Structure 1
Amino acid sequence: MTTAPASGFQTRRIVESAAACSGAVVAGLSLMVPLDPRMMGNTSALEVSLTVLNAPRSAAAGAMLAVVAAVYAMIFGARVAWCASFVAASVLLICAIAISGPVSSGSLAIVNFIECVTAGILVGALAAATLRRPGVGTAYTVGILCGIVIGDQLQMPEAGAAMSRWRWLYAAAPPLWLSVLAVVLLGVGLYWHRDQAPIVSESTVISNVPLVPILAGALMLTVVTTTSEWTARYDFGAAGLVCEILVLAGAALVAALLLPGQDGTLILLATATASAGSAVVAVPHPRWSWSLTLAALALGFLAGRLRPAPLVAAGLTTALAVYAVLTCGIAHTYLLLPVIGCTATAFVLGYAFGAAVPHTVSGMVLGIVILVAPCMIVALRGHENGTVGYSPNWYRDPNGTEGLLPPIVAVAVTLGCTLGILLLRQLRPVTAGHIRRLPGRALGGKFA
């Protein structure tokens, strides 16, 4: 008698998990890739430069809106969260269609800004809709991390390269077919939650907004964006770099202390992982390595959930930065080294987010958006171009040579964040019964 309802419930969970994963991948790619490869052949150099110069601030704006969207969606409830996710994904789909043809002068940077802002809303709203639900929350987390890893490790398109018959599977960022799939699945999720009433009435929204995660996000994103832009534009020397490292690690610790308990551990781990992952030489890599990278990320997340150890995660990020130091001069020569770098980065990222899952949705979103905002390591790699980017076109350059400075700075940042984690554990020791998971308590609490 209960077989049909149980089967329908499982089907609904599978569909919602697919919606969470596809929507998260679309959001991650939209935030990480400021310039669609399809536009590089029919856009002026001035337009490309303008887009690249505005990319860090656009990404930071989208990241900040992700935190705000997560907080408000948690207050209003699942229906508003699914509705905001569906609308944001639809706008991203319209933008993807709009830039598939010729783009007029001055519009590409505007479209990129709209994409970043909309993708940020999608990140936060979809997190509020899915993270507290077993299975669906895992699909969202793995999906957003996959989108970020893929977007970070994209290499510059080769000029005059032959069009592969399979290019439609991965062309553009995000690919058009994935955006369509996300919109359809999110529409189904919205239909299923259409009758759910909001948690808090509109008249009490202002008094119920938890400002702590918003303040922590504003602090971190301001520091990350400012240090990266200053690193790209000015040469402060060794003393200046040391000060920037201290400011970045100090800001991560302060933001971590703003969150309840040890939820801020993820902020420190995300800061360290973003620096170490950006220092690794990930190109050139063969197309088949993507499957290995994504499998390593999922395996790392599973390992982190089964054996959570934030200090181990911090040690892995430091080891990843040391690997970047040892291979920065030869990674472009040996194809195996970038493949190892991509795989190791994905595993460490997955383990870090699995080992330090915060109690709140906004805490998880804070960790995610730190990965999105370009850090000072990316600025060091683009310092010769005067931009925050791996190359003048933002993508990692397979033919570029790497110096020792970016990975050495990454090692320093990871060590600073590790000390921050130790200090956080001293100030807020783990109590008996403390569990690292998103609890299923009522929405709209003091910390959303």
Structure 2
Amino acid sequence: MSNAHRWMKLGAFLPPPGHHIAAWRHPEGRADGGLDFAHYLQLGQTAERGCFDFIFLSDGLGIRTHYRSEEELSHWGRIVNFEPITLLSALSAVTRNIGLTATASTTYNEPFHIARKFASLDFLSGGRAGWNIVTSVTDVEAQNFNLDRQPDHATRYRRAREFMQVVTGLWDSWEDDAFLYDKETGRYFDPSKLHILSHKCEFFSVRGPLNVARPPQGYPVLVQAGASDDGQDFAAQWAEVVFTAQQTLPQAKAFYASLKEQMAAYGRAPEQSVLMPGVFPVVARTQTEAEDIYKSLQDLIDPVVSLGLLETQLGNVDITKFPLDEPLPVLPKTEGSQSKQRLIWEQAQRKGLTLRQLAKEVAAGRGHRLVVGSPHTIADALEDWFINDAADGFNIMPPYLPGQLTAFVDLVIPELQRRGIFRSSYDGPTLRGNLGLPRPAHPRLRSHR
């Protein structure tokens, strides 16, 4: 693929203290950052200074860690944090260009609520909202919503597909120019441009219309991160940004080509979706400094926490029955994240890691690609995948915050700009515009073309 006029896309994935499981224990990590707006204000403005396309906030509807006692749980970081749409609504007032992407579950929300909240965020931000669509993958979340266990994988995805039909239908309740606000005639809107959804199917009965006008972007940008067979098919139909996880260039190239091909079955062109693997970069001015930072983080890992995290990442498979100093055996199928389980199992086999070694490695990037080095080393790693049809960009996962985000902006961004593969200013005021994604026309206009 030619690189002419093609900018690398970058997301800033910002959990409160950082991505490393021991980030909250690092001398420069903000252990209390999850409930400190000033911390997020600094992060948002730093990412915007670096011309990142968007801020990306993950979310779970409960304490998602796998633990056997409150004592074990007390050793984890990232236990409490703001609800992401609320946080991004506040950040919309103190940022100008950067996109604002929040995670929200199709399993434990109602379509009307999600449609209204993201439409509101899109208006508040002037067209910078993005929705990371998840189906949720833990029983602990289900237990906060009147269930003992989560629905099975297939049911969650069936509900998600119908959820998307309802949400997009609600965003299309009004045509773009429906509201007249005509004081002389007394007509607040043109009734011919109101469309009642009247949806009734397996999971939802929703009449509509939405009590927010059509969002500035038409729809907020739709983001999705599942890589199971169901997840890929869902992404091929709906996703405009795909957050994915691969460890090697061949893996990434295969996923990239496969998903772009699958989009054709839904009448979508390859450029209608941006693929952005996660990358965990440890950056410093020199290779030695970067390796020292990584080692200092690894030395802070609590073994109890790393093993608990590994169980969670493997889909809550009980690993206590496996010897710690032997390879990870073949695992049973999970109702959690099937793609993450497969990715980590393959990582262990490829590197010949024991269970103990795997737990420590997963504690860093959670199965995402780890790159440690100087600005030149990090830029080489990103450019390699970008120019070889393995990625359209990357979701950057700083090890600890704010220090490693600042280092990336100050050291790596200028190197990417020098190579002519990353912007030096924003292309426009909307997230869609900066990502190069089209604004969806209202269905009534599509049908008249």
TM-score (norm 2): 0.28
Greater strand proportion: 2
Max Rg structure? 2
Greater helix proportion: 1
